Amino acid sequence: MTAADRLAWPEAADSAPLGDGRSASAVHRPTTVDELCDAVRAEAALSGAVYPQGGRTGLDFGLPPARPGAAVDLTGLAEVVDYPHADMTITVRAGMTVAALRTILGEHNQRLQFEVPRADRATIGGALATGVFGPRRFALGRPRDSIIGVSFVTAAGVEVKGGGRVVKNVAGYDFPKLLTGSLGSLGIITQATLTVRPKPAASALIWLAADSPTPLDAHVAALNTSSIRPTAVEMLNPSASRAIGEPLGIKGGSWTLVVGIEGAAAPVAWQVDQFRREVGRDFEVSRDAEADPLWSSLVEFQAEDAPLACSASMRPSRVAAFLAALPPDRWATQAHAGDGVVHMRGLGEWTEGEAATAVDSARAAAVAGGGNLVVARCPTAWKPRLRVWGEPRGDWTLGRKIKAALDPGALMNPGRFAGEG
């Protein structure tokens, strides 16, 4: 293949997919950081582009790739670098799958502080680059709250390190936080140091149904002054409760509040009883191993295939009203109600016009609630009209300046991130 061929989109679809119907002009599969650096320098010399990849679970997220370039498959970098388990930190290469890391941590009865859908495919680097999280965010935080050290390869083909096992001072860019959620647009994450936690001895998931979101919203607000300390606070509309609950033998089809509680056995049992006293009525409870499938379903909801999927953010106090305004025959919705994040999955067939009208309306409500709405999945041709990254924000200008400083040639994942298109 000539240099000119490398700068044109391949017509054949047998190369590595880049998302949005595009294919890579070449594929690099480094097994060492030195090989990765060489690959980046080679692509930079060709004036191409570099598209980092892990488990390919989020290839269609964001805007389409801006220009032809090479895929860089990081799954060959998948070893543990350091695991002083007594310090509850672990350093791993970015190509390790989340499921593999969970297995390693489980040997010492420890776990990650964030959850990732499709963990058998999703890599640590990909999880950090996308910033994905699950229902336990309420208590355990986002990926950026777990990462204390990072190594990444810059557009110059040089590995840079930021942070470490113990971070006492930060000068300049806080690279562990900056790289998390950057969608690979600033550099290629090669390894990360993460804080971990002991696995809880007991777990319970409360399933509380209601005729409308109003009483559930009151229960969510009451948790702010309650002695209960949930790990997760989820609100489901009737369509989502049916999709999540009924395959597990749990009655769905109603507005549902799901409250997750974890910890030592006696405190978990006491908190479940206390919640019953506070709400004044009974509910279904899944406990310990019985609760595991429901936890998994709550994590995987956002990854289920749908022609149209969105994620909205807003003040937690606005979540119930936001959900109530979405027709349950058109949307299945799961809200991390304590955090103000709503995952929306379109149901049935949509035209571009119908999707644009629905997304514009929901986005206006999210913005009025102090947040925004991004389109996580839709046909490529719809992306300009649906404005996948939502309403422009003031920090987009700052983001462009950081991109220009770290990647002046726009080599890394060009065109895909917020503010680039």
pLDDT tens-place values along the chain, 421 residues long: 555 566 678 876 556 899 999 999 999 999 999 999 999 999 999 988 999 999 999 888 999 999 999 999 999 999 999 999 999 999 999 999 999 999 999 999 999 999 999 999 999 999 999 999 999 999 999 999 999 999 999 999 999 998 766 544 445 568 899 999 999 999 999 999 999 999 999 999 999 999 999 999 999 999 999 999 999 999 999 999 999 999 999 999 999 999 999 999 999 999 999 999 999 999 999 999 999 999 999 999 999 888 999 999 999 999 999 999 999 999 999 999 999 999 999 999 999 999 999 999 999 999 999 999 999 999 999 999 999 999 998 888 988 999 999 999 999 999 998 877 5
pLDDT at 393: 87
Let me know whether 313 and 215 are in one domain: yes
Question: What phi and psi values does residue 119 have, to the nearest 5 degrees?
Answer: -65, -20
pLDDT at 167: 45
pLDDT at 395: 85
pLDDT at 9: 82
Q: What is the CATH number of the domain that holds 194?
A: 3.30.465.10
Residue 48 corresponds to which tokens in the numbers above? Answer: 């191409």
Q: Is residue 400 part of a domain?
A: no
pLDDT at 12: 62
Q: For the chain, what percent of residues have pLDDT higher than 70?
A: 95
* Beta strands, E only, 101-240: 110-112, 147-153, 159-163, 188-198, 202-210, 232-236
Radius of gyration of the CA atoms of the chain, in A: 22
Strand partners, 202: 263
Let me know whether 239 and 332 are in one domain: yes
Question: What phi and psi values does residue 113 have, to the nearest 5 degrees?
Answer: -95, 5
pLDDT at 89: 97
Helix (H, G, I), strand (E, B) or coil at 263: strand
Q: What is the CATH number of the domain that holds 262?
A: 3.30.70.2190
pLDDT at 10: 84
Give the total number of structural domains in the chain.
2
Let me know whether 206 and 179 are in one domain: no
Rounded Cα distance between 24 and 299, Å, is: 30
Which residue type occupies 162? G
Let me know whether 291 and 322 are in one domain: yes
Task: Give every CB contact of residue 111 below 8 A, 6+ residues apart in sequence.
Answer: 102, 105, 196, 197, 198, 199
Q: Is residue 417 part of a domain?
A: no
Q: Is residue 398 part of a domain?
A: no
Q: Give the residue from 295, 343, 294 showing the smallest Cα distance to 323.
A: 343
Task: Give every CB contact of residue 94 below 8 A, 6+ residues apart in sequence.
Answer: 54, 74, 77, 123, 124, 125, 126, 128, 188, 189, 190, 191, 192
Let me know whether 246 and 369 are in one domain: yes
Let me know whether 134 and 70 are in one domain: yes
Residue 290 domain boundaries: 200-388
Let me know whether 246 and 370 are in one domain: yes
Let me know whether 59 and 175 are in one domain: yes
Let me know whether 160 and 231 are in one domain: no
Q: Is residue 299 part of a domain?
A: yes
Let me know whether 155 and 235 are in one domain: no
Q: Is residue 204 part of a domain?
A: yes
Q: Is 109 left (phi over 0), alpha (psi -120 to 50) or beta?
A: left
Q: Which of 199, 220, 247 is the C-terminal boundary of a domain?
A: 199
Let me know whether 216 and 352 are in one domain: yes
pLDDT at 208: 98
Q: What does 11-61 look like in DSSP terms, one character per residue?
A: S-S-S-EEETTEE-SEEE--SSHHHHHHHHHHHHHTT--EEEESS-SSTTS
Cα atoms found within 13 Å of the Cα of residue 310, Cβ hemisphere only: 31
Any idea which residue has 């990849």 for tokens?
53
pLDDT at 394: 85
Let me know whether 252 and 127 are in one domain: no
